[in-house]
Structure 1
């Protein structure tokens, strides 16, 4: 390579270095200007602020109208305490089998009791004849006495068997159903035997209503949309169901839509004075983090998210005895928009941290 070619290559290299330096120098200014513009675009005004430990969403009247936000004032309401529980329709075949054995034992006892009257009279007659100049032998008197004592032993055995069966019914089915089975309330049991009614075992929560405070109960097949039917309280259930948590009780209900083994949903209403409060409409409820919330309007342009207790249904909403008062305005349209604004504020704060 000659000297002239080397000079040309060197000049080209110098030009390239100078151009690269100019590109970096001027490009840096452009990049910084772009970043400033981008930061200015990101730093928009926030609609959420923290006040007294709660996030408050602020929207002007114009923004509320543009976003379709609507509120509804709450009205006072009264509500009878009610809870929803679950149960199952119980087949009564084991009770019927115990009843059959009990009646058979009682029939045996009745027959033996009649026989005792006869053998006792025979013994007394022969004993009198034996005393009157020994008109009958001692052997005949002894045989009559043995027959009488044997009948008494048979009677005791039959009555013991009947008592044991009755005790078994009490242990498995409770006093009320045991009384029905032994015939003390035949009409009630007859409805179960004829399948006019069915027996239901339902569970009440350990911290829920007491049986004596139950005013009414309605049951329907679990998962169905049919009309519930009224059920009548029978008694506590001595046994529990592994799938039901709580104190178990027996109820009876019309058998038209219910079958043995069917799972049922029970709506139980308590006795006593109705509670005062308000009804939170379903339209005001928004679900977040597994809980129900509602946005309450605190001022003309401020909204605060408050929890909603969903333990007591009341028509098309939820009854609240506390936390809300008559006249509170709740958002019934646009709740998701307010929640989105609040969540964006929380995410932004986490990123800044």
Structure 2
């Protein structure tokens, strides 16, 4: 009996000692070590304030992540209109140019032939009148040859004029003149595919003369400068407005439909402009992060923004002085879209080395 009590006493003491050690390790081990950084306090978080999603990032984390902001300011810009543009198929122009060149060559040949036959007729006439040194039949044959050559020359001239008129009716004076110029740099670039012609339909209410230079959107989204050539004799039946030909110094797909940015006037106006580096794409829309507090950022939609050389012009939703994120917006978007409530800290140091 005594031996059993002794064994039970020893076991009880051991259990009590083990429980005390476990409690000590739990309380003491859960306390942060002196000098250890408080990681939970510095990790970015996402909150919802007044229906808006707010990304909270401590100032030291902002510096470490290179998140920079800049205030919005009013800038002087030139207003723009958006016009409809189509890349023109120039193969008919090349064909007409070849046909017109052949017609001109035929015309020059027939003109020389008509000149010779006219001279021959004049010689025969003089000889016939000078005591009939040639027969009347020779004179008649010379007259018939001269009249036939003149008829052929008139026909060649009519064919040449018709081709020239067809070319100008389809492609305007500037392209027609360039096509037939002996050393036209524009036409050589068009032949080599280093330039294209666009038919730009200015809005019906567009006031003033068409601008000499505009910009069009390329398939990769980059703006391409275009120079005015002339008015387009033919318009797009699907678009109402005033069509003009513009030449762009870049290869673009034939038949491509794109947008042209046409200056609305020659004077500048003041507008609020968001710099292009501040804008990010998400869900097919433009967004900007605005710093609403030293450690808080809110994503705002950029509505109906018209692009300019300086950035995106906005009329509402933003105010002068708003601090927009210039660098690090993608990091904020990633943090905002990151699933919340999932622990990512490594609890077992040996596993952190994997």
Q: What is the aligned partner in structure 2 of residue 161 from structure 1?
A: 159
Indicate the SS of the match to 1:217: strand
Unaligned runs of 5+ in 2: 1-48, 56-69, 280-301, 326-354
Change (3 A) 1:75 1:89: same
Change (3 A) 1:216 1:271: farther
Hey, what's the Cα distance between the residues in 2 that align with 1:186 and 1:281?
Answer: 40
- 2:110 aligned with 1:112: yes
TM (norm. structure 1) is: 0.58
Q: What is the aligned partner in structure 2 of residue 135 from structure 1?
A: 133
Q: What is the aligned partner in structure 1 of residue 231 from structure 2?
A: 236
Q: What is the aligned partner in structure 1 of residue 340 from structure 2?
A: none
Alpha-carbon offset, residue 68 of structure 1:
5.7
Hey, what's the Cα distance between the residues in 1 that align with 2:230 and 2:196?
Answer: 14
Hey, what's the Cα distance between the residues in 1 that align with 2:54 and 2:303?
Answer: 26
2:267 equivalent among 273, 285, 300:
273
Contact 1:87/1:202 (<8 A) preserved: yes
Q: Deviations over 1:125-160 (max 9, x none)?
A: 111111111111011001101111111111111111
Indicate the SS of the match to 1:178: helix
Change (3 A) 1:157 1:188: same
Contact 2:214/2:260 (<8 A) preserved: no
Q: Deviations over 1:66-85 (max 9, x none)?
A: 9869xx98633211122333
Hey, what's the Cα distance between the residues in 2 that align with 1:211 and 1:173?
Answer: 20
Q: What is the aligned partner in structure 2 of residue 179 from structure 1?
A: 177
Indicate the SS of the match to 2:148: helix
Alpha-carbon offset, residue 186 of structure 1:
2.6
Hey, what's the Cα distance between the residues in 2 that align with 1:194 and 1:175?
Answer: 21
Contact 1:88/1:202 (<8 A) preserved: yes
Hey, what's the Cα distance between the residues in 2 that align with 1:210 and 1:129?
Answer: 68
1:264 equivalent among 258, 272, 296:
258
Q: Deviations over 1:56-107 (max 9, x none)?
A: xxxxxxx87x9869xx986332111223333222111111122222222211
Hey, what's the Cα distance between the residues in 2 that align with 1:103 and 1:148?
Answer: 25
- 2:247 aligned with 1:252: yes
Superposed, 1:272-291 pairs within 5 Å as: 272-279=266-273
Alpha-carbon offset, residue 263 of structure 1:
2.7
TM (norm. structure 2) is: 0.58
Q: What is the aligned partner in structure 2 of residue 46 from structure 1?
A: none
Unaligned runs of 5+ in 1: 1-62, 285-307, 333-353
Contact 1:214/1:268 (<8 A) preserved: no
Hey, what's the Cα distance between the residues in 2 that align with 1:149 and 1:242?
Answer: 47
Change (3 A) 1:185 1:270: farther
Q: What is the aligned partner in structure 2 of residue 202 from structure 1?
A: 200
Contact 2:78/2:267 (<8 A) preserved: yes
Contact 1:123/1:144 (<8 A) preserved: yes
Hey, what's the Cα distance between the residues in 2 that align with 1:311 and 1:159?
Answer: 55
